[in-house]
Structure 1
């Protein structure tokens, strides 16, 4: 008896395989990979469940499934991830943009309404944060910085793809590429903040992401300390510094920011009610 190759049957089998392989979202992963193999939108799966895959489509899906069952993130397999409703190209040289980081964007936008001036995104990766802010603030200038040349080129390509012209990207370590005397209204960063001994580094999608974008010394706080110490030289009076960080790091990040003279320091929750973003205001 031949195997049922209808969309409905293939989707069920793929979901089961991905569930057994440990995927956190097997049904979603299966649907996304099948859409990629078919070159069709998600609505097609619901509209034409009885349609059968061609041999070529089945082969393509098998190849995609093999990569996913090996643990490779769907975003890297497809080369794209949506963030803030923006379709971003992604690559193994950068972190995969995550929904929690949209909370950082929301808070930065709130503070940007209180003070005029440029915005800076440190450790920009795909450019997700900078591009989200630039898309919402078309009359403001954004700058993104990343240490990795590959990340900077990817961020630039995303800006071109999305036709966002009020952002530029530079390569360097944190503030190194910033012009002398350039001060910003808002500085945001999603820096490396995971301790090198954290067991999560050997689990899930994180296994495939660049460790340089994940791991920091001093229990994950080293880069946050470095940025906080230097940020006052690059902030306008009344400007804001905002960090995304680990869910157990809120107290430590607040102490770091207060030690360096920031006021109105608070920690905000993400959508899962975990401490995720700490921010503070700078007065010389």
Structure 2
């Protein structure tokens, strides 16, 4: 079977799997599995689609396809996921970085922060946000924390993998083991309601619930971060938070009640309100 033939039949099988697979593009999934098996780029696949797969390559690709058809995320099957300009190692211990989160990175990079700004990523997971920011602003003092020691070790490996070893990662339950003040706090915390049926479908069904679910209709962790953040923000420091598509009003209201200024929301790639934040204007700790 050639590269083209395998990709076509894999695409057809994933397309026929129906909505329970929840893939945005069966063809992209098929190509990513082949790229992993062959150790080649997508450009190579397009220009060498008549190359015959060896028996071993076809067997490995078929095994991965069967697991994908059972719903396992491509990122967990290949062990990597691209985010921003980085290639990140992923594992079932962390969320899979998603393009919508790049909206938070874009906003953060637009802020007028000091040249040596202190930046903290809360619930860093793979380290995606922290490392993306550090890659664009080498002078920023970027760090990340996560409750999961396994996630912290993964983030550290990703820092080395992307030549960003100066970014520091540590274990902490939100601010519990954090000290000092920061010019920017960022977070993609758990924000899904525990009763949300989407938890049973697609990639989300395989990701760690501790990184997905929060009490109080998904708002508990968001509100905890908002309420505590001023203790760790310098005057005119910013807090940027990713949240659910239907949570922007609640998050903005909480930010305003807590005393943040310039409270606003950015929309994700699908046009949904996804990132909300504000500036801490006070010079005294609240």
Tell me the TM-score normalised to structure 1 length: 0.95
Match of 1:10 in 2: 6
Match of 2:140 in 1: 140
Match of 1:199 in 2: 197
Pairwise CA distance, 1:116: 5.4
d(CA) in 1 for partners of 2:184 and 2:4? 49
**1:160 aligned counterpart, secondary structure:** helix
User: Which one of 236, 244, 249 corresponds to residue 238 of structure 1?
Assistant: 236
Tell me the TM-score normalised to structure 2 length: 0.94
Alignment root-mean-square deviation, CA: 1.2
d(CA) in 1 for partners of 2:127 and 2:268? 20
- 2:116, 2:139 within 8 Å by CA — same for their partners in 1? no
Match of 1:20 in 2: 16
Pairwise CA distance, 1:162: 1.0
Match of 1:41 in 2: 41
- 1:140, 1:166 within 8 Å by CA — same for their partners in 2? no
16-25 vs 245-254, greater mean Cα deviation: 16-25
Match of 2:100 in 1: 100
Match of 1:65 in 2: 65
Match of 2:109 in 1: 109
d(CA) in 2 for partners of 1:165 and 1:33? 29
Unmatched 5+ stretches in structure 1: none
What number of residue pairs does the alignment pair up?
Answer: 278
- 2:33, 2:64 within 8 Å by CA — same for their partners in 1? yes
Pairwise CA distance, 1:108: 1.1
Pairwise CA distance, 1:218: 0.6
**2:111 aligned counterpart, secondary structure:** helix
Pairwise CA distance, 1:231: 0.5
**1:276 aligned counterpart, secondary structure:** strand
Pairwise CA distance, 1:114: 6.5
**2:278 aligned counterpart, secondary structure:** strand
d(CA) in 1 for partners of 2:24 and 2:130? 28
- 1:244, 1:276 within 8 Å by CA — same for their partners in 2? yes
Pairwise CA distance, 1:195: 0.4
User: Which one of 256, 269, 279 corresponds to residue 271 of structure 1?
Assistant: 269
User: Which one of 182, 185, 188 corresponds to residue 187 of structure 1?
Assistant: 185
Q: Given the alignment of the two structures, is residue 166 of structure 1 paired with residue 151 of structure 2, yes or no?
A: no
Pairwise CA distance, 1:232: 0.5
